[in-house]
Structure 1
Amino acid sequence: MASLPGLGPIGIWSNKLQTDDPDDLGRLRDAAAELEELGYAALWIGGSPSLAHAAHLLAATNHITVGTSILSIWQHQAADVTRQRAALAPADRERLLLGLGVSHARFAAQYNRPYSAMRDYLTALDTAPEPVPADRRVLAAIGPKMLRLAGDRAAGAIPYLVTPEFTAQARTALGDQPFLGPEMKAVLDTDEARARTTARDYLTNYLTLPNYTNNLQRVGYTEDDITGGGSNRLVDALVACGDAEQVRTRIEEFQKAGADHVAVQIVLPPGQSYPELLRQYRELAQALPL
C-alpha cells in the first residue's frame, strides 16, 4: 500500500468542523473555505463524525482533502457508510478519506474485541456493492496489531494523542510505504504556565481512557506521569506550547520521526470563541510551509 499521493504535509484537526445545527452551517462552510484558501492540506473532522458532516465540508470546498477522525465503527454500519459514500459526487469521493476507529469502551455499549470488529468492518467495506477502496480509508491505530492492520488493509494510520517518539515507533511498525498522519495538539500562548494549564485542562479526560494511557505507558510514561491531568513532562510531549515558530518546530519533529502528514489541533482555553480558533489558524498558517 503506497502512501497517499497528493496530500500535503499539514492539515487541521478540529471537533468544531462538524455541526448538526442548520443555523451554524453557513459559518462552518465559510470557515472551511477560508482554511482551504490558507493552504492547509486537509480538514480532519474531530469527534465522532458521520459522512453527512463530511459532505458539508466537501460542498464548501474545491480541492482540500476532508477526513473523518474518527468515524466510530460502533455507531455507523458499514453498509450505511458505503451507500452514503456512493451518493457523493465522484470528485468528492476522491477527496474524502474515511478515518475509522474503535473509539473507547466508555462510549460504546457494544464495545467488544475491537481488533476483530475492525477487521470484520473492513471486510464489509470491501464486499459492499459500492466498496470503499483501501487507499481511501485510514485507521486510528495506536496498538501494534491495529497498526499492522492499518498497513495491510488501509492506506495507513491516523494516531491520536501521540508524540514524535511514538511516531517513530509507528513508522517502524508500518514500514516505509503506508501513510502515517498523527494528530498534534498546540496551544498558541507564550506564557508557559498559562499554556500548560490550557493544555492540561484539555488532556484531563483523555488521560482517563485506557486505550490512550496504555499506549503512553508503552512508549515510556509512567502512572505518575498520567495521573492528575499529566506531569509537565507528559503535557509538554503531547502539546506544543508557545508561538507559531515553536509549533512549526514540533511539526518538524513529527515529520523527522516519519510522519507523512501532521493534523494540527489548536487547543483554546475554556470560553474562547470560534472566531479565535480561526484567527489562530490564520496566524499559524503564516509560519508554516503550506
Structure 2
Amino acid sequence: MSRWGLTIPLTGLPLAEHRALVDELPALGYTDAWTAETNGADAFTPLALASQWAPTLRLATAIVPVYTRGPALLAQQAATLADLAPGRFVLGIGTSSPAIVQNWNNVPFEEPYKRTRDTLRFLRRALAGEKVTEEYETFAVKGFRLETAPASPPPIALAALRPGMLRLAAREADAAITNWLAPKDVATVRAALGDEPELVARLFVCPTEDAEEARAIGRWMIAAYMTVPVYRAFHEWLGRGEALAPMNAAWAAGDRQGALAAIPDAVVDDLVVHGSPADCRARVREYTDNGLTTPVLAIVPGGGLGPAEAVRALAPGV
C-alpha cells in the first residue's frame, strides 16, 4: 500500500508538542498528514508547522469549508501552503455542515453543491495565477489575482458523500474525500466516483481490545455525526437507513441516551476501527483492498495508549 495518513493535531497532545512526533512519522511509514477544521485547530496552521518539521510528508486539508473564508482568502492560504511545501500540499475543500457554517459562523448554508462547484472553479483559476473576474452562481469575484501564484498549483480534493458530489469530484477535482464508511462501502462510493481518481477517507481508529470501551466511544461519535442531515442521507444511500432509524427517532425526540442505546453494535463495528493495534492495521488494509487509495487515521483515545504511543503502534511499518 502506497499511502498511510494521519490526522493532526492529535487529541490530547498540544500542537506545540507535535514537532518530535511529526518528524518521526516518515520513518514510521506514514506518508501523509491531514488536518480537519471543526471547533479545534484551524486546518492550515498545523500544516504550516508540519511543512518545516517533516519535509517529505504530503500535507492536506480534510476539509476546509467553502463558506467560512472568502474565495480570495482561501486561495491565499492555499498558495501559502503550496509555497511552504512545493508539490506536497493538497487542498481539500467541502461544504462542512450547517452547524459549523450557519450556527457557529453566521453564514447562510445555501446551495451547497453549487457553492462547492463555484469555489472549486475559482480556485483552479486563481491558483494557476489568473486574474479572476467572474459572476459565479453563488458569489462574484472582481479583479483578484494572487501576488505570487504557486509554481506548482496544488491538487484540489473535494469532500463528497453522495453521487452528485462524487461525480463532480471525478469531473473537476483531483481527488475525493469521504468519511464514516466501512470497508464494504468503498465499492459503493467507487461506483459513483469511478476507478481512477484518488479516494481518501478519514478512518476513526480506537486501538483497544476492550470492545465495549470502543463501542461506547463510537456511539457518541456516531450519534453526533449521523444525525446531521448530510450524514443521515449518506448512510441511507449506503444502506444503513433502517439500522439507524431508531437512533434518529430518539435523537429527534430529544432522548440522547435512548439514541445512543439504539445504535446497534454491528453499526459501530462497521464504522469504527477497533481492537489491538495489529487488528486495527489489518482492518485499515481491508479498506485499501476494497479500493480506498488513502486511509487517513483519526486516532481516538482508548486502550490506555497515549497519543504518541498510539501513532507508533498503528504505523504501517510495525
TM-score, structure 1 normalization: 0.85
Aligned partner of 2:175 in structure 1 is 156
Question: Are residues 1:44 and 2:34 paired?
Answer: yes
Letter in 1 for 2:183: P
1:98 aligns with 2:86: no
Give distance in 2, aligned partners of 1:43 and 1:169.
Answer: 26
Output the amino acid matched with 1:38: L
Task: Return the index of the structure with the highest Cα Rg.
Answer: 2
112 and 102 in structure 1: CA distance in 2 versus 1, 3 angstrom threshold: same
The equivalent of 1:276 in structure 2 is 306
Alpha carbons 2:87, 2:154 under 8 Å: kept:
no
In 1: Cα distance, 2:153 partner to 2:163 partner: 19
CA distance in structure 2 between the aligned counterparts of 1:160 and 1:125, rounded to whole angstroms? 23
**Equivalent position of 2:267 in the other structure:** 234
Counterparts of 2:27 and 2:230 in 1: how far apart (Å)?
36
On the 8 A contact 1:18/1:45 being kept in 2, the answer is no
One-letter amino acid matched to 2:294: H
Structure 2 CA distance, aligned partners of 1:84 and 1:159? 23
Q: Structure 1 residues 25 and 165 mapped into 2: Cα distance closer, same or farther (>3 Å)?
A: closer
CA separation of 1:18 and 1:126: change in aligned 2, threshold 3 A: farther
| Secondary structure, aligned partner of 2:239 | coil
Measure, in 1, the Cα distance between the counterparts of 2:153 and 2:191.
21
Percent of pairs with identical residues: 27
Name the SS of the counterpart of 1:115 in structure 2: helix
Which of 37, 52, 58 is 1:65 aligned to? Answer: 58
Give, in angstroms, the shift of residue 232 of structure 1: 0.9
2:114 paired residue number: 116
Structure 1 residues 3-49: Cα deviation after superposition (integer angstroms, max 9, x where no partner): xxxx9321112453899xxxx55312233212233220111112343
Following superposition, the deviation at residue 222 of structure 1 comes to 2.7
Deviation digits for residues 90-109 of structure 1 (CA, Å, limit 9, x no counterpart): 46131111111100112212
Amino acid at match of 1:254: Y
For residues 164-220 of structure 1, give each alpha carbon's deviation from its aligned partner in whole angstroms, at most 9, with x where no partner exists: 222111112221210011111111111222221122233331122111111111111
Q: 2:7 aligns with which of 8, 13, 29?
A: 13
Structure 2 residues without counterparts, runs of 5 or longer: 103-107, 130-145, 248-258
Quick one: distance in 2 between partners of 1:9 and 1:94? 16
Give TM-score, length-normalised by structure 2.
0.78
Q: Distance in 2 between matches of 1:201 and 1:216?
A: 17
1:49-75 deviation line (CA, Å, top 9, x unaligned): 343332122122110011111111111
Change (3 A) 1:148 1:214: same
More helix as a share of residues: 1
SS in 2 for 1:63: coil
8 Å Cα contact 1:86/1:93 also seen in 2: no
Mean CA deviation greater in 112-121 or 165-174: 165-174
State whether residues 85 and 93 of structure 1, in contact with CA within 8 Å, keep that contact through their aligned partners in structure 2: no
Other structure's SS at 2:306 match: helix
- 1:192 maps to a residue whose letter is A
Asked whether the equivalents of residues 11 and 264 of structure 1 are also in contact (C-alpha less than 8 Å), the reply is yes
Tell me if 1:250 matches 2:283.
yes
Choose which of 159, 163, 170 in structure 1 pairs with 2:189.
170
Q: Decide whether the 8 Å contact of 2:34 with 2:60 is kept in 1.
A: yes
The amino acid across from 2:98 in the alignment is: A
Aligned to 1:127: 125
Q: Does 1:219 align with 2:217?
A: no
Give per-residue Cα distances to partners, 1:92-129, cap 9 Å, x unaligned. Answer: 13111111110011221221111100010011112223
Residue identity matched to 1:42:
D
Q: Secondary structure at the match of 1:159?
A: strand
Tell whether 2:69 aligns with 1:76: yes
Could you tell which deviates more after superposition, 111-120 or 44-53?
44-53
Q: Map 1:135-146 to 2 at 5 A.
A: 136-146=155-165
Q: Which residue of 2 aligns with 1:3?
A: none
Q: How many residues align?
A: 275
| 2:237 is the counterpart of 1:207 | no
1:35 and 2:25 matched: yes
Distance 1:80 1:41 in 2: 28
Q: Following the alignment from structure 2 to structure 1, what is the Cα–Cα distance between the partners of residues 7 and 222?
A: 15
